[in-house]
C-alpha cells in the first residue's frame, strides 16, 4: 500500500515536472519563431480551431477578448499554470495557501522573462499587453487547480 502510493506520487511528480519543462520549451519555441511562421500558425489556428476557442466573446461588451495571437498567450500560460500549480500542490512541506501563491509567482516570472527574451529575437519586442493575457491564463489555471485540490482535501478529510 504505502510503497505503491509513494511510487504513484513519484510518477505524478515526474509527469508534472515534465509538463512544466515541455510547456516552457513550447513557449520558447513560439517566441523564437520567425514573423512568417507566427503569421502562418495564427492563420492555421484561426481557420482550423473553433471560433469560440480562438475568439471568445466577452459577454459584457459583445466583443472578442482578444486576437487569435493574444488568445494563444492565454492558452500557453494556462497550460504552464496548470503544470506549475499541480507541481506545487505535490510539495507537502509548503503551507497549502503558499503553494498557489508560489505557482502564480513562478508563472509571472516566466511570463516576464519571455517578454524580455523577445527583445533579443528579430522582429519581436517586449509587449506589456501580452503580460496581461499570460496572467489571465495562469491565474485561471491556478485558481481551478487550487479549487480542485481543496475539494480533494475536503473529501479525504471526510473519509
pLDDT for 3-15, tens place per residue?
A: 556 657 778 889 9
Give the bridge partners for 64, in sequence order.
57
105 pLDDT exceeds 90? Answer: yes
Q: What is the pLDDT of residue 2?
A: 55
**Cβ burial, residue 103 (10 Å; 0-12/13-18/19+):** buried
**Across residues 107-112, what is the average pLDDT?**
98
Give this prediction's pTM: 0.89
Phi, psi at 64, each rounded to 5°? -60, 150
Amino acid at each position: 500500500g504505502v510503497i505503491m502510493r509513494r511510487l504513484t506520487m513519484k510518477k505524478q511528480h515526474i509527469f508534472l515536472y515534465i509538463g512544466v519543462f515541455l510547456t516552457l520549451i513550447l513557449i520558447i519555441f513560439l517566441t523564437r519563431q520567425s514573423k512568417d511562421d507566427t503569421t502562418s500558425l495564427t492563420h492555421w489556428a484561426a481557420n482550423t480551431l473553433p471560433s469560440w476557442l480562438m475568439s471568445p466573446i466577452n459577454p459584457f461588451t459583445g466583443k472578442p477578448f482578444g486576437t487569435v495571437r493574444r488568445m494563444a498567450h492565454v492558452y500557453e500560460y494556462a497550460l504552464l499554470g496548470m503544470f506549475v500549480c499541480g507541481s506545487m500542490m505535490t510539495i507537502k512541506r509548503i503551507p497549502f495557501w503558499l503553494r498557489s501563491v508560489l505557482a502564480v509567482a513562478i508563472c509571472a516570472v516566466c511570463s516576464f522573462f519571455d517578454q524580455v527574451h523577445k527583445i533579443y529575437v528579430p522582429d519581436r519586442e517586449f509587449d506589456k499587453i501580452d503580460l496581461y493575457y499570460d496572467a489571465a491564463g495562469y491565474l485561471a489555471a491556478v485558481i481551478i487547480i487550487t479549487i480542485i485540490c481543496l475539494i480533494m482535501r475536503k473529501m479525504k478529510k471526510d473519509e
